[in-house]
């Protein structure tokens, strides 16, 4: 642990936080952000300060510190640790090409021979969602199949030259773990991470929703101010976002994560804190290690969506409370965003019904403009990934989970505008 972090840790230990203030903040956040349930773990050094659940799951049962919840891409930190364990034991050199270990690894670019395991963990392999459509292509069933699928990938940049986040990197890293260790990736995590850390209620899966534990309760989608129980779409998640755990187990994980790392499986925010977020279409999560030595893990049973990009505001607010600062007022534009989209849907419906009931003569060429909403709807998965996900891949079905009101607005507008155009053409 470096000196800055050590000084911060000593100072913070001198003034223990008021947990009731944390309770009040989390409860306020649930209400403001329309989250049905959240589980929180807080640690300090090697001490567990709090593990607690708030709200309810999709069956109506209360969330507790033992409720099984998805941590989504926070799972990448576990994958990175598994790789680092193998490297520390001398079985793996992070800077040797992946093909040294996974001999059948290849991409559709000669530069792929230079991709190392470190490049995978740092998202600098050159593979992106744009060069391999991670979600919209047929999904693998195992890390070995992920390697086979990656053969069609091209590279957007030279390996090691640019950071571009994609789950594919960690699917491939999971296969590296398998080959070097001689164990299935999820079995390796069970034996070398979960069991030694005392994480008895934690598991890792390959595919959603097929492999989810029997006692895992489905999360929620959100539309028009309502949270609705929804099944997570079919996706391959091994290595990238397949860990299912509890707040109690995440506390055990966090007490082992206090020392600064070199960034693999973690990220550094603008305040110099270590963190990683996680998003499923039915769950969101995040972990944060502050300079004052607190570890914070948050798991929510409401999925990523338009105007809900994750739990970072909640993590930041808890961190501020713990450090004696005034947190940002909890809030979310989710409801307002959906109400605006609902108003646009009704407006489009009303205007087009009026146009159908009172048809007038227009030049046929102008009616082509009415096909614009349909064009936007067809292009929406690509546009959403480009505008909101930094080029991330998404299917149309997943897009309906992301923002049903947006899809409904464009769908209604497309149908009504095309109807008006057809009527006017015929007249």
CATH code of the domain in which 208 resides: 3.40.710.10
pLDDT surpasses 50 at 240: yes
DSSP lists the bridge partners of residue 294 as 44
Same domain, residue pair 317 and 340: no
Percentage of residues in the chain having pLDDT higher than 90? 81
Shared domain check, 220 and 360: no
DSSP for 373-394 reads: HHHHHHHHHHHHHHHHSSS---
Tell me how many domains the chain contains.
Answer: 2
Looking at residues 269-292, what average pLDDT do you find? 95
Tell whether 265 and 355 lie within a shared domain: no
The neighbour count for residue 18, using CB atoms within 10 Å, is: 12
Domain C-terminal end among 329, 345, 369:
329
**Can you list the alpha helix ranges (DSSP code H) found in 255-403?**
312-322, 334-357, 372-388, 396-402
Burial class from Cβ neighbours inside 10 Å (0-12, 13-18, 19+) for residue 379 reads: exposed
Percentage of the chain modeled with pLDDT above 70? 93
Domain end (from 298, 329, 360): 329
pLDDT in tens, 194-213: 999 999 999 999 999 999 99
Domain around 179: 1-329
Q: Do residues 279 and 389 share a domain?
A: no
Do 344 and 409 touch, CB atoms closer than 8 A? Answer: yes
pTM above 0.75, yes or no: yes
**How do 267-268 and 220-223 pair as beta strands?**
unpaired
Are residue 69 and residue 163 in the same domain, yes or no?
yes
Q: Are residues 92 and 183 in the same domain?
A: yes
| Residue where a domain stops, chosen among 329, 345, 379 | 329
User: Residue 265's closest CA among 196, 150, 177, 203?
Assistant: 177
pLDDT of residue 4: 37
Instruction: Indicate whether 308 and 160 sit together in one domain.
Output: yes
One domain for residues 324 and 340: no
CA distance 22 to 1: 27
Put residue 265 in one of left, alpha, beta given phi > 0 → left and psi -120 to 50 → alpha: left
pLDDT at 261 over 60: no
Which residues make Cβ contacts (< 8 Å) with residue 321, sequence separation at least 6?
17, 18, 21, 22, 25, 327
Q: Do 399 and 277 belong together in one domain?
A: no
Looking at the predicted structure, is the pLDDT value of residue 42 above 60? yes
Assess whether pLDDT exceeds 80 at residue 81: yes
pLDDT bin (cut points 50, 70, 90) of residue 262 is: low
| Same structural domain, 268 and 370 | no
**How would residue 407 be classed by pLDDT, with cut points 50, 70 and 90?**
very high
What is the rounded average pLDDT of the residues 42-49? Answer: 94
Are residues 231 and 359 located together in one domain of the fold?
no
Same domain, 340 and 309: no
């Amino acid at each position: 642990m470096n000196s800055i972090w050590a000084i911060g840790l000593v100072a913070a230990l001198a003034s223990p936080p008021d947990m009731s203030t944390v309770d009040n903040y989390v409860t306020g956040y649930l209400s403001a952000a329309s989250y049905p349930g959240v589980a929180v773990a807080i640690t300090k050094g090697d001490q567990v300060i709090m593990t607690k659940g708030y709200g309810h799951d999709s069956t109506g049962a209360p969330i507790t510190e033992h409720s099984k919840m998805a941590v989504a891409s926070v799972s990448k930190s576990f994958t990175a640790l598994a790789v680092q364990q193998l490297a520390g034991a001398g079985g793996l050199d992070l800077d040797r090409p992946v093909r040294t270990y996974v001999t059948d690894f290849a991409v559709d670019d000669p530069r792929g021979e230079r991709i190392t395991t470190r490049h995978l963990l740092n998202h600098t392999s050159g593979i992106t969602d744009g060069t391999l459509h991670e979600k919209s292509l047929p999904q693998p069933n195992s890390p070995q199949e992920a390697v086979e699928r990656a053969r069609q990938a091209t590279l957007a940049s030279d390996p090691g030259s640019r950071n571009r986040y994609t789950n594919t990197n960690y699917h491939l890293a999971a296969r590296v773990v398998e080959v070097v260790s001689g164990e299935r990736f999820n079995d390796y995590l069970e034996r070398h991470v979960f069991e030694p850390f005392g994480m008895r209620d934690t598991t890792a899966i390959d595919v959603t929703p097929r492999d989810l534990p029997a006692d895992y309760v489905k999360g929620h989608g959100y539309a028009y101010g309502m949270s609705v129980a929804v099944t997570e779409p079919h996706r391959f998640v091994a290595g990238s976002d397949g860990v299912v755990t509890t707040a109690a187990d995440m506390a055990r994980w966090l007490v082992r994560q206090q020392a600064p790392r070199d960034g693999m499986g973690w990220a550094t925010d603008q305040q110099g804190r270590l963190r990683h977020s996680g998003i499923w279409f039915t769950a969101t999560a995040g972990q944060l290690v502050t300079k004052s030595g607190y570890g914070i893990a948050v798991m929510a049973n409401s999925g990523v969506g338009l105007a809900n990009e994750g739990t970072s505001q909640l993590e930041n607010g808890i961190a501020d409370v713990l450090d004696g600062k005034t947190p940002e007022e909890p809030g979310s534009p989710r409801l307002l965003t959906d109400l605006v989209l609902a108003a646009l849907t009704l407006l489009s419906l009303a205007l087009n019904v009026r146009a159908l009931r009172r048809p007038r003569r227009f030049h046929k060429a102008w009616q082509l403009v009415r096909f614009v909403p349909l064009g936007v709807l067809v292009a929406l998965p690509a546009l959403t990934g480009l505008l909101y996900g930094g080029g991330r891949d998404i299917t149309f079905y997943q897009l309906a989970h992301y923002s049903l009101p947006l899809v409904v607005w464009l769908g209604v507008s497309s149908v009504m505008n095309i109807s008006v155009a057809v009527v006017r053409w015929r007249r």
